[in-house]
Amino acid sequence: MKIYTNSKYRKRDITVYVVLRFLVLLTLITQLFRGNYENVFLCVLTLVLFTIPTIIDKKLNIALPNALETIILLFIFSAEILGEVQNFYGIFKSWDTILHTINGFLCAAIGFSLIDILNRSEKFHTKMTPAFVALVAFCFSMTIGVLWEFFEFGMDITFKTDMQKDRIVHEISSVTLNPDGENKPVVIDHIVGTTIYYIEDGQSKELSIVDGYLDIGLRDTMKDLFVNFIGAVVFSFLGLLYIKDRDEYKFTEKFIPKLKAKITNQK
């Protein structure tokens, strides 16, 4: 991994990368001895994802700011190793919310960068207003968020996972429960419990849910999109201020990828 700051490596960022890689390898070995091969796959996937900054740097000729690169590595580690392998999603109820908020912020930064590069290019004759650039960054972030929810839904349907986490709710409103078949929702509040009947090995079984009703992912999906929206709005606003005054809001550059300047040999 290459991290650039005035053509010099930053020890802090390299240390973060080395420590995270060591922790992933340690987790991989531990899960391998325990026979948790699904978690082993997640560790390998994490190591592959850690190479993304290098691929972007070498193949796309795009320089990632040190702060952005570090956040990306920590995000990957938090989502895969802490979230999935160590079950932080289950232990800390706000873990998924925090990550989706950060994702909205980062994707807006990437979308902003793509448009800002075009907007400042001499080859691109049409100049977009700061508000339009911020709007495109916002839309880019929300599109990525929606596509990710499509992916989660597809995994749940195809491989019977639970990426769109179920929630226990205490109130539902549904026209399906209307006894007359009318398009009028029946509201049931203060649900104290439900019973699910299912067939397993040819026998009828039941599973009781105490203190509520099982919502199969709808609220989790809408919550994820909402916090993605918040992250996207925050960066889009910062990006708008940055375009209007790049010197005053220079700190925003820490999150914006840029094309590398071409180096020419001078005689």
pLDDT in tens, the chain (267 residues): 444 444 444 677 788 989 999 999 999 999 999 999 999 999 999 999 999 988 888 888 888 898 899 999 999 999 999 999 999 998 998 999 999 999 999 999 999 998 888 877 767 667 788 999 999 999 999 999 999 999 999 999 998 988 898 889 999 999 999 999 999 999 999 999 999 999 999 999 999 998 899 998 999 999 999 999 999 999 999 999 999 999 999 999 999 998 876 543 443
Same domain, 140 and 191: no
Given 77, 92, 107, the domain boundary residue is: 92
Same domain, 249 and 157: yes
Given 92, 107, 133, the domain boundary residue is: 92
Same domain, 75 and 178: no
Backbone angles phi, psi at 85, to 5 degrees: -70, -45
Residue labelled with tokens 């009703």:
213
Residue 267 domain-assigned? no
Same domain, 200 and 140: no
Same domain, 6 and 132: no
Residue 103 domain-assigned? yes
Same domain, 11 and 141: no
Same domain, 37 and 75: yes
Residue 16 domain-assigned? yes
Residue 77's domain comprises 1-92
Same domain, 27 and 152: no
3-state secondary structure of 6: coil
Amino acid (one-letter) located at 189: D
CA 193, CA 103: separation in Å to the nearest integer?
Answer: 35
Same domain, 77 and 109: no
3-state secondary structure of 229: helix
Same domain, 43 and 28: yes
DSSP 155-181: HHHHH---SS--EEESEEEESTT-TT-
CA 258, CA 61: separation in Å to the nearest integer?
Answer: 9
Given 67, 92, 117, the domain boundary residue is: 92
> Which pairing describes strands 167-169 and 213-215: parallel, antiparallel, or unpaired?
antiparallel
Same domain, 7 and 23: yes
Same domain, 185 and 209: yes
Contact (CB, 8 A) for 232 and 138: yes
Residue 238 domain-assigned? yes
Residue among 230, 245, 260, 254 at smallest CA distance from 105: 230
HSE value, Cβ hemisphere, 13 Å, CA-based, for 8: 4
Residue 123 domain-assigned? yes
Structural domains of the chain, count? 3
pTM of the predicted structure, to 2 decimals: 0.87
